[in-house]
Amino acid sequence: MKTISENTCFGGVQGVFSHASEATGTEMTFGLFLPMEAQEGPVPVLWVLSGLTCTHENAMTKAGAQRWAAEQGIALVFPDTSPRGEGVADDESFDMGQGAGFYLNATKDPWGHYQMWDYVAEELPALLEGQFAIDEARQSITGHSMGGHGALTMAMRLPGRYRSVSAFAPICHPTQSEWGRRQFTAYLGEDEAAWARHDATLLMTKTGFDGPLLIDTGTADQFGDKLGTEAFARAMAERRQPGTLRLQKGYDHSYFFVSSFMEDHVDFHAQALWS
């Protein structure tokens, strides 16, 4: 593993590291914030999954999460959103290919490197546990947009792994969205049965999440018609899923929205992680 940078930040350290990933067959880069408390022993960790076009860097520099993670004594992991580099398939549009891995394991050509489910759910946690003062028994997960999709699907499909889940303007129903159908067709093929495991609304109907859940989405989200918030809300209500879905007046899809509610989300996870 290579250390790209380490910056003191809110009394802890914001690091950026890269390593050769077996899952993706590429060099992968991630950000890791360790609070001061990590010098004394393992700390709980909050996974922060990012959205379309993002690298490991966007949430790390714009979401303002370190302030609250430092206060709560929690680590933050910022994975990349896809494999990258020469030889990695890409697409001209911003919502497919590099920067748009959709947190799944692609089964179709030419997307063989796109194994972001395995990378985020298996390989990176194992790597972190071995190298850093992180307590694998205390993990939670959040994400923005496509990263919200990743957080919700991982939380529901890996029961017992995450103590709490939250999302900012998540893609909730990709099997019925422009942000999903084209990408799932490319990555997973035409068989829509294979898509269902990556649709938070369908997973909510089928299994739900055994723990606290928080979602914030802005009423002025410019991509609101692609998110499927209505379908997810209905599925939550039908299931009687404990949780909170907030529609935030006037907020859009940007990091100005994400940062505005980051304190709430980190505090929400801290309550689950420290209990």
Residues involved in catalysis: 145, 221, 253
- Verify binding: residue 218, a copy of itself, rule CB under 8 A: yes
Report, in angstroms and rounded to the nearest whole number, the Rg of the chain calculated over CA atoms: 17
Among 62, 157, 182, 234, binds a copy of itself (CB under 8 A): 62
Q: How near is the Cβ of 142 to a copy of itself at its closest, in Å?
A: 18
Q: How near is the Cβ of 144 to a copy of itself at its closest, in Å?
A: 14
Query: Mapping DSSP to helix (H, G, I), strand (E, B) and coil, where does residue 71 land?
Result: helix
Among 1, 2, 4, 7, binds a copy of itself (CB under 8 A): 7
Q: Give the binding-site size for a copy of itself (rule: CB under 8 A).
A: 24
- Verify binding: residue 3, a copy of itself, rule CB under 8 A: no
Among 18, 107, 175, 259, binds a copy of itself (CB under 8 A): 259
Among 255, 268, 269, 270, binds a copy of itself (CB under 8 A): 255
* Cβ atoms of residues 100 and 94 within 8 Å: yes
Round to whole Å and give the CA distance between 183 and 111.
Answer: 11
Span interacting with a copy of itself, options 59-67, 79-87, 120-128, 169-177, rule CB under 8 A: 59-67
Query: What tokens appear for 28 in the block?
Result: 């992968």
- Verify binding: residue 66, a copy of itself, rule CB under 8 A: yes
- Verify binding: residue 252, a copy of itself, rule CB under 8 A: yes
Residue 26 identity (one-letter amino acid): T
- Verify binding: residue 17, a copy of itself, rule CB under 8 A: no
* Cβ atoms of residues 94 and 53 within 8 Å: yes
- Verify binding: residue 247, a copy of itself, rule CB under 8 A: no
- Verify binding: residue 242, a copy of itself, rule CB under 8 A: no
Binders in 67-106 for a copy of itself, by CB under 8 A = 67
Pairing of strands 213-218, 162-168: parallel
Binders in 153-172 for a copy of itself, by CB under 8 A = none
Q: Quickly list DSSP for 182-250.
A: HHHHHHH-S-GGGGGGG-HHHHHHHT--SS-EEEEEETT-TTHHHH-HHHHHHHHHHHT---EEEEETT
Query: Mapping DSSP to helix (H, G, I), strand (E, B) and coil, where does residue 57 land?
Result: helix
For a copy of itself, the closer of residues 18 and 259 by Cβ is: 259
Query: What tokens appear for 132 in the block?
Result: 């850093």
For a copy of itself, the closer of residues 12 and 79 by Cβ is: 12
* Cβ atoms of residues 227 and 201 within 8 Å: no
Query: What tokens appear for 47 in the block?
Result: 């996974």
* Cβ atoms of residues 129 and 136 within 8 Å: yes
Which residues contact a copy of itself (rule: CB under 8 A)?
A: 7-11, 14, 61-62, 64, 66-67, 218, 220, 249-252, 254-257, 259-260, 263
